[in-house]
Amino acid sequence: MRVPQFSPVAAIVEAQTLTIDFGPRLPDGVILVGTPHVVLTTLDGTDSAPQTRVVSGPIIGTAPQPQGTGLANCAVLFQVANCVAGTTYGVSCYCSTSASDIPEADTSFLCYTPD
């Protein structure tokens, strides 16, 4: 599932919590379980170690409304920091569900130099 691109993240000075909401894809009563996985890659730019930008998580949680569904245990949250300015990062995320499925989502974000 392709999800909308995240808002840009400021290089070096900003730690940003990013949320991928699987709620719209999960049947009623199904939640995420187990250990979520987030993989960062470099789509454009020069970061040779993109996975090191994930500094917290990933964890299962809730994507609050109005941007998210507000469904408990239907989102994956993780924090990125120390990104390389001018780099576009690819994000791939997957996690098991209580129905034994493994939904996957892909998105990206740009890292910029703050003013």
- Averaged over successive runs of 10 residues, the pLDDT of the chain (115 residues) comes to 77 86 96 98 96 97 94 97 95 98 96 87
Q: What is the pLDDT, as a whole number, of residue 79? A: 96
Burial grade of 70 (CB within 10 A; 0-12, 13-18, 19 or more): middle
Second CATH level (architecture) for the domain 9-112 = Sandwich (2.60)
Query: What pTM does this model have?
Result: 0.92
pLDDT at residue 47 in the model: 96
Query: What is the predicted pLDDT for the residue at 40?
Result: 98
User: Which residues, 6+ apart, have CB-to-CB distance to 62 below 8 Å?
Assistant: 68, 70, 71, 72, 73, 74, 75
In three-state secondary structure terms, 88 is: strand
Q: Note the pLDDT of residue 32.
A: 98
